[in-house]
Structure 1
Amino acid sequence: MPEIDTWMGLSFHLYFFDNQQHKLPHVHVKYGGFELIISIVTAECLEGYLPNKQRKRAEHYIASHRKQLMKMWNLAVIGINPGKIGDVC
């Protein structure tokens, strides 16, 4: 699972071929021993847990990078490494 970015202690990841369980574009966000799966489209929490402060940061990050994350999601679900968030135009 490629790490696509880190920000304020949060680590953002996209799995390859990861469109089966949640059926919609999403990002895995890790912080310490916690992991939360968040929808790219709505920034809604789908599964998992992050402490409130980190969850709000993750939601803000996803809302701010939505267009880039969607491009990266479209690559990852077909098995192409999406690279890092700064690599996407």
Structure 2
Amino acid sequence: MPTISMFYGIVIRLYFYDDERYKLPHIHAKYQDHEASFSILDGTVLSGSIPVPKTRLVQAWIEIHRESL
């Protein structure tokens, strides 16, 4: 899975063909031992969890980069 961004200890990854589970465009975020999948459309958490402050950073990152995603 290619890494597309790293910031504040968060790694953002994108599977190009990963539409089996969610049927939505989404990204995967990893922070330390935590992992979560986020919808690109609205930033909601689809599965998993990461600490709330890091979740907010990922959601802000999605908002900024939505067009390019």
Category of TM-score, reference length = shorter chain: over 0.9
For residue 33 of structure 2, what is the aligned residue in structure 1?
33
**Amino-acid identity (%):** 36
Q: Number of aligned residue pairs: give it.
A: 69
- Gap regions ≥5 residues in structure 1: 70-89
- Gap regions ≥5 residues in structure 2: none
For residue 50 of structure 2, what is the aligned residue in structure 1?
50
Higher helix share: 1
- Inter-partner Cα distance in structure 1 for 2:52 and 2:61: 14
Moved over 6 A (4+): none
Q: What SS does the aligned partner of 1:67 have?
A: coil
Select the structure of larger CA radius of gyration: 1
Higher strand share: 2
| CA deviation profile, 1:2-31 (whole Å, cap 9, x unmatched) | 001101211000113101110000000000
For residue 16 of structure 2, what is the aligned residue in structure 1?
16
> Which structure ranks higher in relative contact order (CA pairs < 8 Å, sequence separation ≥ 6)?
1
Please provide the CA RMSD for this pair. 0.8
- Inter-partner Cα distance in structure 2 for 1:41 and 1:22: 12
